Amino acid sequence: MAVIDYPDTREQPTDTVTPPVQVRRKIGGLQRGSLFNLGGAAAAGLCTSALLQRLTALSGPVGFVVVAYVAFVVIYGVLVSLTDDAPVVRDAVMTVLMASCAALAFAALGLVVFFTLARGWAALRHVNFYTQDMSRAGPLAPLSVGGMGAALVGTIWMVGIAVALTVPLGLIAAIYLDVTRGRPARFFRTVVEAMTALPGILAGLFIYASWILIFGFGRSGLAAALALSVMMLPYVIRGADLALRLVPANLREASAALGAPGWRGEMQVVIPTARSGLATAVILAIARAIGEASPVLLTAGFTNYINGNPLSGPMVSLPLETLKLVQAGVPAYTSRAFGCASFLLVVIIILFSVARKIGGWGPGHLSPRAQKRVLQASARDVTRYAGRGSVGPSGRGPAPDRGDGTGGGYRLAGNR
């Protein structure tokens, strides 16, 4: 399909003054011919499959789709081979195969999301679902009684504590990776990367083995938060490390050249520049932690009552509540489980879009307010500059550089 139709210039006499009319070649996108091929092959594939289903003992939607797809690919290859040679046929067929892999993966994603939201809607439309706990909702209670209140409170506590623990620690550890080079930093980075794949159940088991069995504290929101922290920490560090590595080295060098000590350069140039990336890393780590049930499974315990105290007593989080409700196997509980899962899904999609939005800002992106501050500072500099210029040694307006380091032009771009 990538056949390029070269304009035929052989017939042009070489001595003409007027250049041949240049037709712009279309190098990307679908040509009309290949569109016909695709459409024809798709129709033929569907018909073949339908025919086979009638004539033979094939049955079921899966068989239909598989046969139709195979027929489609074969017929498409044959159609392309009518006009083009073997490499082009291979190219066309492989392109279709790769595109179908993409379609399959995204169809599965869409199916998972819509299936969950559709089944969860029944519970989500009740207001009490967001405010009440499950203490008065027996297995036969309608959806207008009880809800995920306990899980909501628990999730907020657990994730809040985990964020408070991991974000400072993780960001400072990422700064360590940023300011030092050499073997220890490389080792640390490798360990962090390996730890991002730590199974959640092992984070929970670790807290169970230490916090609960060895130190003798009970199951509580705090224990669950600790397990979530163990799981979140590598995500925060790796995300922040990637964001910090995107800061251009010349900003750092500029700050050093102006005589700033390393820590000031880091705090006032590098980190503000990477702010959007760091925020993205933290938000994505939170999105990860909110949905994890396995670290919480062994450490939080389970309760039907709202527990506002993370230090004592069992607590429940949204994914854990979902799991327990499903395992109960009662229809009303299943609906509530889908409600919890849908709520979780919506929260994660929102967090994710926010992270994408912030992450889409380049390094040094300014919010409108920050932009205004920079402009004001710049205006102040201009007036100061003009005032100094009029009494300057040359007396001919502002000098670009007086060599005393006080000129207004020295404000760093990334500094605000």
- Considering only residues 222 to 261 of the shown chain, the ones binding other proteins according to CB under 8 A are 230, 233, 237, 261
Among 188, 217, 305, 361, binds other proteins (CB under 8 A): 188
CB of 349 to other proteins, least distance (A): 7
Nearer to other proteins, 173 or 243 (CB): 173
Residue type (1 letter), 100: S
Which part of the chain contacts other proteins (CB under 8 A), choosing from 140-148, 201-209, 270-278, 362-370?
201-209
DSSP structural state of residue 410: G
248 conformational bin, left if phi > 0, alpha if psi -120 to 50, beta if neither: beta
Select from 113, 122, 141, 156 the one that contacts other proteins (CB under 8 A).
113
CA 358 to CA 282: how far, in whole Å? 11
Q: To the nearest whole angstrom, how small is the minimum distance from the Cβ of residue 203 to other proteins?
A: 8
C-alpha 192/C-alpha 291 separation (Å) is 21
DSSP H helices, 12-85, are: 32-55, 61-83
State the residue for tokens 């504590």.
161
Instruction: Compute how many other C-beta atoms are within 10 angstroms of the C-beta atom of residue 142.
Output: 10
Rounded CA separation 291/341 (Å): 9
Which region, judged by CB under 8 A, interacts with other proteins, from 33-41, 42-50, 136-144, 173-181? Answer: 173-181
Which residues between 342 and 401 bind other proteins (CB under 8 A)? 344-345, 348-349, 352, 356
Q: Find the binder of other proteins among 224, 244, 251, 323 (CB under 8 A).
A: 323
Only one of the segments 90-98, 240-248, 269-277, 371-379 lies at the binding site for other proteins (rule: CB under 8 A); that segment is 90-98
Confirm if 85 and 70 have CB atoms less than 8 A apart: no
Measured from the Cβ of residue 390, the count of other Cβ atoms closer than 10 Å reads 11
Among 42, 74, 122, 179, binds other proteins (CB under 8 A): 179
Stretch of residues binding other proteins (CB under 8 A), selected from 42-50, 93-101, 133-141, 245-253: 93-101
Does 106 engage in binding with other proteins (CB under 8 A)?
yes
For other proteins, which is the closer residue by CB, 326 or 374? 326
Choice from 161, 203, 232, 278 touching other proteins (CB under 8 A) = 203
Cα 28 from Cα 338, distance rounded (Å): 44
CA pair distance 230, 162, nearest whole angstrom: 9
Fill in the per-residue mask, 28 to 67: x = in contact with other proteins (CB under 8 A), - = not in contact. Answer: xx------------------------------x-xx----
- 293 lies in the binding site for other proteins (CB under 8 A): yes
> Least CB distance from residue 1 to other proteins, whole Å?
9
- Considering the complex, what minimum distance in angstroms separates the CB of residue 356 from other proteins? 6
Please name the helix (run of DSSP H) or strand (run of DSSP E) that holds residue 254, with its range, or none.
Answer: helix 249-257
Distance separating alpha carbons of residues 60 and 40, to the nearest angstrom: 24
* Window of 152-160, 208-216, 268-276, 398-406 that interacts with other proteins by CB under 8 A: 208-216
Q: E strand or H helix at 284, and its extent? A: helix 275-290
Strand segments (E) across 37-177: none
Contact flag: residue 87 with other proteins (CB under 8 A): yes
Task: Examine residue 78 and tell whether it contacts other proteins (CB under 8 A).
Answer: no
Q: 316 exposed, middle or buried (CB, 10 Å; 0-12, 13-18, 19+)?
A: buried
